[in-house]
Amino acid sequence: MSNADIVWHDAAVSQTERERKNNHSAFVLWFTGLSGSGKSTLANAIDRYFHDHGYRSYVLDGDNVRHGLNNDLGFSEEDRVENIRRISEVARLFVDAGHIVSTAFISPYADDRARARERLPDGRFIEVFVDCPLETCEARDPKGLYKKARSGEIPSFTGISAPYEAPVDPDITLQTGTRSTEENVHELVEQLEDLLRPS
């Protein structure tokens, strides 16, 4: 069956109605950065803040999604593109359902992040650059992957033997080499003030 045979079915309950009931906007916080830069740490810290303050929210994390939905994908350029395409579709569904979704994927290619932005309603895709020098990420090496990448045990490792295209004009930049998680969460809450206000 081709896509031409599939007809979009409008939902009985709109995103706007869900947002009104939740009393806040639905949007995606798209964290991007090198492995070990702090994407998961920050996505979970801000999610804790959202949850504790009555927002409906959820985290989509690279490691976890790759265990399930995307367990057929590796780290070739083609697979990473498909990984991000699927994640952005899932993120869109969460926004449709009225949630604030924080995604924590390296998402190394600028074009893929741009496509993800295009899939979301205007102003509902917030690109957050988790900015941390490669040397710091490598010194942290929380999973021992940089060591393996340097020894050649892991091929095509982002930042070492595969590219990372840093955002040129991100909506928000958080430095994790010099600022604590608490400081960065505070910064995020300030920058998101308009979206977090009751709708």
Ligand X SMILES: Nc1ncnc2c1ncn2[C@@H]1O[C@H](COP(=O)(O)OP(=O)(O)O)[C@@H](O)[C@H]1O
Ligand Y SMILES: Nc1ncnc2c1ncn2[C@@H]1O[C@H](COP(=O)(O)OS(=O)(=O)O)[C@@H](OP(=O)(O)O)[C@H]1O
Distances in Å between the alpha carbon of 28 and those of 14, 144, 168, 192? 17, 29, 19, 11
> Per-residue contact track with ligand X, 31 to 60, x per CB under 6 A?
--x-xxxxxxxx------------------
Whole-angstrom distance, CA of residue 151 vs CA of residue 179: 30
Contacts with ligand X, 65-104, as mask; x by CB under 6 A: ---------------------------------------x
Q: Which of 51, 119, 134 is nearest to 87 (CA)?
A: 119
| CA gap 36, 153 in Å, rounded | 18
Span from 7-15, 59-67, 124-132, 181-189 in contact with ligand Y (CB under 6 A):
59-67
95: tokens are 């926004």
Closest distance to ligand Y from the beta carbon of 93 (Å): 18
| Catalytic hit among 25, 107, 180, 199 | 107
Minimum gap (Å) between residue 121 Cβ and ligand X? 26
- Compare residues 66 and 99 and give the one whose CB is closer to ligand Y: 66
Tokens of 26: 């639905």
Instruction: Give the residue carrying structure tokens 């395409």.
Output: 85
Q: Scan for tokens 């916080």, then name that residue.
A: 29
Asked if 105 is part of the footprint of ligand Y (rule: CB under 6 A), the reply reads: yes
Q: How many residues does this entry show for the chain? A: 199
Contact set for ligand X, span 149-188 (CB under 6 A): 176, 179-181
Contact between 154 and ligand Y by CB under 6 A: the answer reads yes
128 touches, from ligand Y, ligand X, none (C-beta below 5 to 8 Å by class): none
Please say if 151 is a catalytic residue. Answer: no
Q: What share of the chain is helix, strand, coil (3-state, %, to 5)?
A: 45, 15, 40
Q: Which residue has the tokens 């992957």?
A: 145
Q: Which of 85, 140, 148, 150 binds ligand X (CB under 6 A)?
A: 140
- For residue 142, state whether it binds ligand X (rule: CB under 6 A): yes
Phi-psi region of 105 (alpha: psi -120 to 50; beta: other; left: phi over 0): beta
Binding site, annotated residues for ATP: 33-40
Out of 38, 98, 108, 167, name the contact with ligand Y by CB under 6 A. 108
Q: What is the set of active-site residues? A: 107
